[in-house]
Amino acid sequence: MNQGHQLEERITFYGGLTTIGGVHIVYSCGDTGIVFDLGMARAFFKGEVSVRSDYGIRSCLLTRMAPPVMGLYDPALLGDVGEAELAQVWGQDQLPQVKNLHGFVSHIHQDHMALLPSLREGLPVWMHRDAYAVYEGVVAAGEYEGTQADIRLIEDGQIVDFGTFRMEFIEVDHDSPGVTGFIIHGPEHKIAFTADWRRHGRNSHRLDRFIERCQSEGVDLLITEGTRMRPDTLFRKPKDRLEVEVAVECRRAMEDTNGLVYVNILARNVERVADLIIRTKEAGRQLVMDESTAVLWKETSAKLTVLAGHQALDVDQEVIRLLSTPQWSKGPQPSKEVELPYESITLNEITANKSSYAVYLTYPNTPLIAELETFGSRESASIYVHADGNPLTPSDETLLKWLTEFGVQYRYCATGGHASPQEISELTTRIAPKLVVPLHSLHPTMFNSGGIRKYCPAPGESFALSELVRK
């Protein structure tokens, strides 16, 4: 590293700058670099207008939904899309390219990992081992294709030497296991990336440790998410439901009715699902899962270091019942033959004794409500608990129409994975970098940096790091 001061450190910003998700940043030092993250925001693709996550990479590149870094992707998927075409799409004469390229995935939400199936064979991609356990689960469940990349597992606190720079990986707290930020130790500069984070989760102390490491190292550039920066949150800190309270709210719903309880949780939040299993048992009910959700739970839960010793692993076989996925469902179908140890159940068995069951109801399977509510007793109203599962809004017209039609009570008890603007400001002022870049936000310019110099880059802007820090 002695010659490192002669190597130019460069940073290029592509995605996630004025959107929630889809962060694409390239850091390079000499001929070695890393792209973080490897997901996509929705933008051009939503609902019926969508492409497969592997073969759709051409459309994603030509709509600036994927970073124009040629060494990332499987050449067989690119076809004749090359650097010249991408430079034209980005309105530039040429695009920075890196010879010795790596990738980084901070966690397994689609806006941070959706490019994984499109990556070239052997590309080194770094992620926390718990994040990879979740990815294996979503692939087995049929939600995503696998990857040809060379996945390299990291631990909290691990430092990896890339030759011209080092990366120190630091686990943070979000609503998915294994979420990891980092500090890049370059020859002249240090960059900290928070990944997605929150203070109202189980492990707020991880953020304090992240801050302490940044303070100790003297960070030049801080890159932080700003999902919740909006006009209505600028002057009033929202009151967040604690993560540990979500499953308790689900149990309360199960105790409040003799009807069915529907629960909608994003299955990738495996820790929350584990808590739900325990609360369901406490309420004297069994939790009915579709095959895809059960596969994701089974494949992931046994591998997660964060769930080691959790009670849910001991009781899931007596709590979970398996419901065959309806033929009409547009939801994912398991792509892997997994031997599930759960006893099967039919719709007739559920409706014959509604007070004994909670139904884990994913959004594509919403029409099951018609059968579950039409048959069996309707003396007690059923309750639908919406806890950060898709759709992510409490005002989804389609969902609310189904619930209204069948007289199902709606309870919204979400607690997302993102920090309040005030918490982001506090983290920034405590770290006290020379410069802060807020992104993963619709309103990054609203960020109150507490006097710390801030910069909001435009898509495609590329800087020598020394130039950006002085800017």
pLDDT tens-digit profile of 279-304? 999 999 999 999 999 999 999 999 99
Task: Give CA–CA dist 151/140, Å, rounded.
Answer: 17
Asked whether the CA dihedral 120, 121, 123, 126 is positive or negative, the reply is positive
- What is the rounded average pLDDT of the residues 322-346? 89
pLDDT at 5: 52
* Domains, the chain, ordered by start: 2-233+418-470 (3.60.15.10), 243-412 (3.40.50.10710)
Instruction: Give me the pLDDT at residue 1, please.
Output: 43
**pTM listed for this prediction:** 0.93
Q: Which residues of 337-362 are buried (b: 16+ CB within 10 A; e: fewer)?
A: ebebebeebebeebbeebeebbbbbb
Q: How far apart are CA 303 and CA 134, in angstroms?
A: 9
The tens digit of pLDDT for each residue in 76-87 reads: 999 999 999 999
Closest CA to 114 of 169, 180, 43, 189: 43
What is the pLDDT at residue 48? 74
DSSP 8-state symbol, 285? -
3-state secondary structure of 259: coil
Contact call for residues 189 and 433 (beta carbons, < 8 A) = no
Q: What is the DSSP string of 76-113?
A: HHHTT--HHHHHHHTT-S-----SEEEEE---SSHHHH
Q: CA dihedral defined by 254, 259, 265, 271, rounded to 10 degrees? A: 30
Could you report the per-residue pLDDT of 382-406, keeping only the tens digit for each? 999 999 999 988 999 999 999 999 9
What mean pLDDT value characterizes the chain? 94
Label residue 196 by pLDDT band (50, 70, 90): very high
pLDDT at 233 over 90: no
pLDDT higher than 60, residue 309: yes
Q: Which residue has the tokens 């936000």?
A: 441
